[in-house]
Amino acid sequence: MTNKKIETKIFLVLFIFSFIIIGPYVIDKYILTKDTENIEDNTLEEYDEDIQQIYENDSNINIEENSNQISNDIIDITSNLNSNSSNVVSNSNNNSSNIISNSNSNITSNKNSNKISNVNSNKVSNKQSNKPSNTVTSNKQSNKVPTVKNTVPNPTVTFTGFKTVDSSYFDDALFIGDSRTVGIRDYGTLKNASYFCDVGMSTYNIYKKNLSVKSVGKVTIDKLLEKKKYGKIYIMLGINEIGSSIDTIYNKYSNLVNKIRQKQPNAIIFIEGNLHVAKSRNDTDKNINNNRINKLNNKIANLANNQNIFYIDINTYFDDADGNLKSSYTSDATHVYAKYYKDWCEWLKKHGI
C-alpha cells in the first residue's frame, strides 16, 4: 500500500476522532441550549414521572444504537488499518481506545440530550393536552350570562293620588343622590331645582361631602338643610353601598330621612326607588343585581307614610318584561343614556303631590 493511502486512512481516523470529541460540545452548546432556553424550570417538576419513563425507554434505545454504530465504525477502520500497516494498526488501536472512551462520553451526552429533548417534547405535549384554557373559556362563556329570574319582586306603589305638575313645581325642590341624580341635574330639564349630588355618594359618606349648591354655595348636607327651606326633597341613595348589609343601609337611610324631617318639617319627602341594572350586570354581579336592589327598595318603601313621605319608583318606566333595566336604554348596564334623563324628568312631573 502506498504512503498516500496510509495517510488517507490516518486522516479518516483523526477526522472521526475529532468529530466524536467536538460533536457533543457543538450539540450541547448550539443545539440543545437553543432548544431548551425557553423551558421554565418551575414547570419541569410537573412532568417528572412521565418524563422519567419516556427517558428510560428512549435513552436505552439511543445509547444502544449509538454505541453499536460507533463500534461498527471502529471495527471497520481497525480491520482496514491492520491489513495495511502495523504502524497504522498501532495508531488505530490507540485512537480506538480514545474513540471508545469518547464514545462513552458521547453516549452520556446523548443520554442527557435525550433527557432534555424528552423533557421539552413531553412538556409541550402535556401543556397542549392539559391546557385548560379552552375548558375555562367555554365555562366562562356559558356562565357569563345565565338565565336568571328576579326572585325578589319590586315594591308596588300603592299610593294613587299623584298629580301631573309643571316645571315650576320644582322651584323649591332639592334632589339628593348619587350619579343617577347627577344625570338628572346635568341632562334633565329641571334646571330650576337644587341638587346635592355626587358620583359615588352613599348613605355612608353623605355627611362627609362638601358640595356646591345653587344659590347657597359650598356646603355639607347638614349646613344646607339649616340654611335653606325646601318644599320638596327627593332622595335616591343605595346603589353604591348595595354590596353591604341591606339592614345596615336601611338604618342609615332611615336616619337620613329622620334628620331631613327634623330640619325640614314642612317639606314633602320623595323616597326614590333605586334604578335597576340591565340583565348583563344583573346576571353576573353578585353584589349589584336587581334582587338586592329590590330588597333595599322594599325596605325603604316602608318609610313612606303617604302623608308627607311618599315612595316613587322610576323602574316602572325603564324596566323590561323581566324587571331589568332595558338594555337599549344603557351603555354600561347601570346608567341610562343622557337623552333619557329628559324622559325621567317628564315622569317626575306626573308624580307630584
Among 210, 203, 238, CA closest to 224: 210
pTM comes to: 0.60
Distance between CA 323 and CA 84 in Å, rounded?
102
- Which pLDDT belongs to residue 127? 42
Block means of pLDDT (10 residues each) for the chain, 353 residues, are 70 75 59 43 38 39 42 43 40 41 41 41 41 38 55 87 97 98 98 98 98 96 97 98 96 98 98 98 96 97 96 97 96 97 98 97
The grid coordinates of residue 286 equal 353578585
Among 320, 337, 324, CA closest to 294 = 324
Q: CATH for 167-349?
A: 3.40.50.1110
Q: Which of 135, 115, 134 is nearest to 123 (CA)?
A: 115
Amino acid at the residue 107: I
Q: Is 138 exposed, middle or buried (0-12, 13-18, 19+ CB in 10 A)?
A: exposed
pLDDT score for 25: 59
- The pLDDT value recorded for residue 291 is 96
* Sign, Cα dihedral of 63, 64, 66, 70: positive
pLDDT at 2: 64
How many angstroms separate the CA atoms of 88 and 65, rounded? 28
| 243 CB neighbour count, 10 Å cutoff | 12
Rounded to whole angstroms, the Cα distance separating 98 from 232 reads: 105
The C-alpha cell of 243 is what? 354590596
The dihedral over CA atoms of 160, 161, 164, 170, expressed in degrees to the nearest 10, equals -120
In the chain, domain spans: 3-131, 167-349
Scanning the structure block, which residue is given the C-alpha cell 348595595? 242
Separation of alpha carbons 206 and 270, rounded Å = 17
pLDDT of 144: 52
- Burial class of residue 141 (count of CB atoms within 10 Å of its CB; 0-12, 13-18, 19+): exposed
